[in-house]
Amino acid sequence: MSGSLESPDVGSGRGRRASLWPHGAARAGRTTRPRRGQRGRSSADEHDCSSARARAALIAALCALLLPASISTAAAQGTAWPSKPIRFLISFAPGGFTDGMARALGERLSAALGQPVLPENRAGAGGVLAAEATAKSAPDGHTLLLVSSGLAINATLQPRLPYDTLRDLAPVALVAELPNLLIVHPSLPVKTVKDLIALARRQPGKLSYGTAGIGSSQHLSGELFKTMAGVDIAHVPYKGGAPATVDLVGGHVDMTFGSTATLAMVRAGRLRLIAVTSAQRSAALPDVPTIGETMPGYAAGVWYAVMAPGGTPREIVNRVSAEIRRVVEDPAEKAKFIDQTAELRWLGPDDLAAFIRSEIKRWGEVVKRSGARVD
């Protein structure tokens, strides 16, 4: 009879067996051979059994050590998201269009995701502070960021950024676009873009435009206008759009590529709106022409998008993007922002990534031509 525990015969099976028994057994007189047909157990058999038992014990011990870790890992991977409130960083100060839009979006996301989405204003350095805080946050889906087109401008304007725009921030969704407004002081003898270009060519270097600051969308809208029109208009940067508007109303500068905040002064008759900077006419201002209608190819303005820390899991990015799309494509939400000349428009993560790359290239060229730089 054969078996895994039976020792093999040596030679004919009748040779010496001393080496197959426990050490010293022969000297103790316990060398009795098994009877014919009786299965004997040799020292090799005992050794094999001991080894098998040792292996089994070792495997059991390893399983005991590894199982809790595997369970813990599985539990972590299966944790529902979001598991805590979500920070929603806003790269602008409280109040105003951007802050209001972010808070409205945050409310809708809170309801959809089942966790509070908490707006946190982190203004400063043209949006760099908020972007840096986001880039350095854990990529676990519990930090989001609302940025403007300044994100693309800063990539060239500020060469020492504390983050890599394309690597350290993950595009989630485009939210809205709105134009800047080409507005002049009523004393300026122009009513159209054509009139303005003609006047600027007759008086090179004498006209001036005020903006919210170096590198702002207003500044680069003006620089693009100057380049394409071939005119020389002096740039006067302010610390924000409000003081620029005050000086325009006071006649200290001749014009601006301002935000929708200047519309109140236009409606009061204290300023004159002659064009919008967007590629198409604004739904809120259908009778106001675009600059591009006079100067084909001109298009500028501001866009807003939601970003996450680089490395955020794609399934989380996709979920947030889908929820934002529901908000952006809601007719009721669109209607809320028309009066502010904002047009809600959604782009998903991949299309937004391509759009940001193109914007970095486009505005980078304008920044370099203008010589603008912020160290």
Phi-psi label, residue 138: left if phi above 0, alpha if psi -120 to 50, beta otherwise? beta
Considering the domain architecture, whether residues 328 and 288 belong to the same structural domain is answered as no
Considering the domain architecture, whether residues 318 and 276 belong to the same structural domain is answered as no
User: Is the separation of the CB atoms in 370 and 156 below 8 Å?
Assistant: no
Considering the domain architecture, whether residues 366 and 330 belong to the same structural domain is answered as yes
Considering the domain architecture, whether residues 288 and 231 belong to the same structural domain is answered as yes
What per-residue confidence (pLDDT) applies to 2?
40
pLDDT, tens digit, for every residue of 242-291?
Answer: 899 999 999 999 999 998 889 999 999 999 999 999 999 999 999 999 99
Considering the domain architecture, whether residues 185 and 281 belong to the same structural domain is answered as yes
- How many structural domains compose the chain? 2
- Position 6 in a domain: no
Please state, in angstroms and rounded to a whole number, the distance separating the CA atoms of residues 52 and 32: 27
What per-residue confidence (pLDDT) applies to 53?
59
**Mean per-residue pLDDT for 137-161?**
95
- Position 252 in a domain: yes
- Position 60 in a domain: no
- Position 243 in a domain: yes
- Position 59 in a domain: no
What per-residue confidence (pLDDT) applies to 191?
97
Angle formed by the axes of helices 128-135 and 150-157, nearest 10°: 90
Considering the domain architecture, whether residues 172 and 318 belong to the same structural domain is answered as yes
**Mean per-residue pLDDT for 49-78?**
46
Considering the domain architecture, whether residues 157 and 169 belong to the same structural domain is answered as yes
**In the beta sheet, which residues pair with residue 171?**
307
What per-residue confidence (pLDDT) applies to 92?
87
What per-residue confidence (pLDDT) applies to 96?
80
Considering the domain architecture, whether residues 277 and 309 belong to the same structural domain is answered as no
- Which band of pLDDT confidence, cut at 50, 70 and 90, is reported for residue 240? confident
Q: Largest Cα–Cα distance of the chain, in whole Å?
A: 129
Considering the domain architecture, whether residues 207 and 349 belong to the same structural domain is answered as no
β-bridge pairing 181-184 and 255-258: antiparallel
Please state, in angstroms and rounded to a whole number, the distance separating the CA atoms of residues 173 and 166: 15
- Which band of pLDDT confidence, cut at 50, 70 and 90, is reported for residue 50? low
Reply yes or no on whether the pLDDT at 221 is more than 60.
yes
pLDDT, tens digit, for every residue of 159-184?
Answer: 899 999 999 999 999 999 999 999 99
- Position 105 in a domain: yes
- Position 79 in a domain: no
Can you give the residue range of the structural domain that contains 341? Answer: 86-178+304-370
β-bridge pairing 208-211 and 234-237: parallel
Considering the domain architecture, whether residues 159 and 236 belong to the same structural domain is answered as no
Considering the domain architecture, whether residues 128 and 208 belong to the same structural domain is answered as no
- Position 30 in a domain: no
Q: Rounded mean pLDDT of the chain?
A: 84
Which of 293, 318, 344 corresponds to the end of one domain? 293
Considering the domain architecture, whether residues 355 and 262 belong to the same structural domain is answered as no
Q: What is the CATH number of the domain that holds 258?
A: 3.40.190.10
Comparing 20 with 298, the larger pLDDT belongs to 298
Which of 258, 293, 328 corresponds to the end of one domain? 293
Q: What is the CATH number of the domain that holds 130?
A: 3.40.190.150
What per-residue confidence (pLDDT) applies to 116?
97
pLDDT, tens digit, for every residue of 317-365?
Answer: 999 999 999 999 999 999 988 888 899 999 999 999 999 999 999 999 9
